[in-house]
Amino acid sequence: MNESPGFYSSSVGKKILMAVTGMILFFFVLFHMAGNLQIFIGQEELDRYAKFLHSVPEILWLVRIAVTFSFLVHIVAAVQVWLQSRRARPIRYKVRVNLATDMAARTMIWTGPIILLFVLYHLLHLTYGALYPDLFVEGHVYQNLINSFRLWPIAVVYIVANIGLGFHLYHGLWSLTQTLGWTHPRFDRCRRVASAVIGIGVAAANISIPVSILAGLVR
Amino acid sequence: MRLTLHIWRQSGPDAKGRFETYKLDDVNEHMSFLEMLDVLNQQLIENGEDPVAFEHDCREGVCGMCGIVINGLPHGGRKGTTTCQLHMRHFKDGEELTLEPWRSAAFPVLKDLVVDRSAFDRIIQAGGFISIHTGAPPDAATILVPKEDAELAMDYAECIGCGACVAACPNGAAMLFMSAKIAHLGMLPQGKVEADRRVKAMVEAMEKEPFGACTNFTSCEAVCPKEISISAIARMNRDYRRAFLPGKAEGGGKLEKVKLLPAT
């Protein structure tokens, strides 16, 4: 490993790190979604779950640090490979055609920053309660959600961000199987479909929360 | 058939280029794209003008020399077709075509539609050698290669190094080319010994050139005249990752991976 420039110095290595950290972030998103869906069981259940998460602060902070670290590595590597690619075509084509790519792939560089901004907003809104102090009571997760999502501008922010997340997950999940070399003729055809199903599924499940509250289905 | 061509003209590597418009009135639909350009150049020469420079050699779709971006599509965008094998019958009478060279920082324009692709050569050189016994022809079937491996390696080995993958990639990445080379050598017993060293060395050489990074747009696969699958890229990513595992010596792979028949 010492003889050649390190793993991280190549764009291939950077992409592999992006795939691994992206996967960690995906598992966090999945876990976060599953936890939040308990809102549909009821207030007691969701608040008890929130309390449970906070029951061992060491574990909570360990997870937070791991997720933050993954987030930072993911972003730094993404910016680096993006800059590398921008330099690769100084003179652009006069006629530009989108060849075989889909919108999700082309908008990764936009859905990424959207998710970043949303995460910061979300942390200030529902973790630290700094954004709307009137709507937030520490530990009363269920009530905080109801208070917030009754207001359509907040609900819209969450809905838009999760649509972005869905697109990002679709391309990201498919892409990571490619970047990690998890391919096999037997399941190659399912990779796209599975990524789309998960991307749409996660986005829809997350969006169902603000939508249900906005529609008055969850009170 | 009649055609209007907007062609990138650039007199030298450092000259400023521009698009020039040419009209052709009598194009035979059975001509190949390059033959159509030959007709144009004949006209230009007769008028005392500088003919359009473009690369070509075999005109049979196997040498990898030709390559023009036609209306934004490298090699014209027909499935499994090089520019030389593209025929005028695929275009409409009166059509306007914009002809551009491969656009990549790694492929500087030399003249008009000709680019310098020696960045590819430097990647290939970094790949080094494969270990085989030379001398008398070996006995048949001393090294067994599973049929599927042989077929797949041949699919990857079809790469003619034309550079359409780089031209098509929104990132200007050279991953399909590089991975096709790495895959076809790394899959066969003769190339396996150096597989770990090779993948690292070739990636390193690629990074020294101003290519972009792969973000799995899959445009390369769509334009590849040899229809090489992006599974080559996945394979290369896997090989690269594994080459950094402990125990993978810089000098080569593990010898026991090579399938040899026991001596009789």
Name the residue in chain A with its Cα closest to that of B248.
A1
| Residue B263 pLDDT level (bands cut at 50, 70, 90) | low
Record: contact A95-B72, CB cut-off 8 A: yes
Q: What is the pLDDT of residues B128-144, one digit of tens each?
A: 888 888 888 888 888 88
A2 domain-assigned: no
Do residues B170 and B246 share a domain?
yes
CA distance B241 to chain A (A): 7
CB atoms within 10 A of CB A134: 7
Which residues have CB under 8 Å from A162's CB, separation 6+?
A: A202, A203, A206, A207
According to the model, what pLDDT value does residue A189 have? 83
According to the model, what pLDDT value does residue A68 have? 97
Do residues B47 and B135 share a domain?
no
Of B204, B214, B234, the CB nearest to A4: B204
Q: Does A127 touch chain B (CB under 8 A)?
A: no
According to the model, what pLDDT value does residue A4 have? 53
Do residues B77 and B163 share a domain?
no
Q: What is the pLDDT of residues B16-52, one digit of tens each?
A: 999 999 999 999 999 999 999 999 999 999 999 999 9
Q: Which residues of B touch A77 (CB under 8 A)?
A: none
Size of interface A-B (CB pairs under 8 A): 141
Name the residue in chain A with its Cα closest to that of B206.
A10
A219 domain-assigned: no
Do residues B213 and B185 share a domain?
yes
Do residues B132 and B230 share a domain?
yes
Q: Does A17 touch chain B (CB under 8 A)?
A: no
According to the 3-state scheme, what is the secondary structure of A191-207? HHHHHHHHHHHHHHHHH
Average pLDDT over residues B204-208: 95
Residue in this structure with the two tokens 């597989």, named with its chain if needed: B195
Select from B88, B111, B134 the last residue of a domain. Answer: B111
Residue in this structure with the two tokens 């066969």, named with its chain if needed: B188
Average pLDDT over chain A reads 93
Do residues B127 and B37 share a domain?
no
Name the residue in chain A with its Cα closest to that of B232.
A181
3-state DSSP percent of chain B in helix, strand and coil, to 5: 40, 15, 50
According to the model, what pLDDT value does residue B258 have? 47
Number of compact structural domains in chain B: 2
Do residues B149 and B26 share a domain?
no
What burial letters (b/e) apply to A50-65, b meaning 16+ CB within 10 Å? beeeeeeeeeeeeeee
| Residue A218 pLDDT level (bands cut at 50, 70, 90) | confident
Q: Which residues of A touch B213 (CB under 8 A)?
A: 11, 14-15, 81-82, 84-85
Record: contact B69-A93, CB cut-off 8 A: yes
Half-sphere exposure of B215 (CA within 13 A, CB side): 28
Do residues B49 and B69 share a domain?
yes
Select from B80, B111, B142 the last residue of a domain. Answer: B111
Give the domain range for residue B32: 3-111
Helix, strand or coil, per DSSP, at residue A2: coil
Record: contact A100-B218, CB cut-off 8 A: yes
B263 domain-assigned: no
pLDDT over 50 (residue A207): yes
Record: contact B200-A4, CB cut-off 8 A: yes
Q: How far apart are the first and last CA of chain A?
A: 58
According to the model, what pLDDT value does residue A153 have? 95
Q: Which residues of B touch A81 (CB under 8 A)?
A: 212-213, 215
Q: What is the pLDDT of residues A45-78, one digit of tens each?
A: 999 999 999 999 999 999 999 999 999 999 999 9
Number of compact structural domains in chain A: 1
Of B6, B211, B219, the CB nearest to A101: B219
B98 domain-assigned: yes
Do residues B18 and B140 share a domain?
no
According to the model, what pLDDT value does residue B253 have? 43
More confidently predicted of A5 and B158: B158
Cα–Cα distance measured from residue B196 to residue B217, given in angstroms and rounded to the nearest whole number = 26
Cα–Cα distance measured from residue B207 to residue B216, given in angstroms and rounded to the nearest whole number = 17
Q: What is the pLDDT of residues A140-157, one digit of tens each?
A: 999 999 999 999 999 999
Q: Name which of B70, B71, B177, B237 to mutate to probe chain A: the one with the most chain A Cβ atoms within 10 A of its Cβ.
A: B237
Q: Does A181 touch chain B (CB under 8 A)?
A: yes
CA distance B145 to chain A (A): 19
CB atoms within 10 A of CB A208: 18
pLDDT over 50 (residue B54): yes
Q: What is the pLDDT of residues B223-256, one digit of tens each?
A: 999 999 999 999 999 999 999 888 775 544 444 4
Give the domain range for residue A51: 7-214
What burial letters (b/e) apply to A94-103, b meaning 16+ CB within 10 Å? eeeeebebbe
Select from B111, B130, B153 the last residue of a domain. Answer: B111
A141 domain-assigned: yes
Residue A87 and residue B105 in contact, taking contact as beta carbons nearer than 8 Å? yes
Give percent of chain A with pLDDT exceeding 90: 84
Of B171, B217, B237, the CB nearest to A180: B237
Write out the two tokens for B175: 């991953």
Q: Name which of B217, B231, B236 to mutate to probe chain A: the one with the most chain A Cβ atoms within 10 A of its Cβ.
A: B217
CB atoms within 10 A of CB A93: 19
Average pLDDT over residues A113-133: 94
Q: Which residues of A touch B239 (CB under 8 A)?
A: 181
* DSSP one-letter code for B32: B
A166 domain-assigned: yes
Do residues B54 and B177 share a domain?
no
User: Burial level of B182, CB count in 10 A (0-12/13-18/19+)?
Assistant: buried
According to the model, what pLDDT value does residue B256 have? 43
According to the model, what pLDDT value does residue B255 have? 44
Q: Does A10 touch chain B (CB under 8 A)?
A: yes
> The CATH number of the domain where A88 resides is what?
1.20.1300.10
Q: Which residues of A touch B204 (CB under 8 A)?
A: 4-5, 10
Do residues B142 and B198 share a domain?
yes
For the whole model, what pTM was predicted?
A: 0.90
Record: contact A178-B230, CB cut-off 8 A: yes
A37 domain-assigned: yes
CA distance A143 to chain B (A): 42
More confidently predicted of B264 and A96: A96
Residue A139 and residue A192 in contact, taking contact as beta carbons nearer than 8 Å? no
B262 domain-assigned: no
Q: Does A13 touch chain B (CB under 8 A)?
A: yes
According to the model, what pLDDT value does residue B214 have? 96
A80 domain-assigned: yes
Of A88, A93, A101, the CB nearest to B218: A101
According to the model, what pLDDT value does residue B135 have? 86
Do residues B121 and B228 share a domain?
yes
CA distance A206 to chain B (A): 26
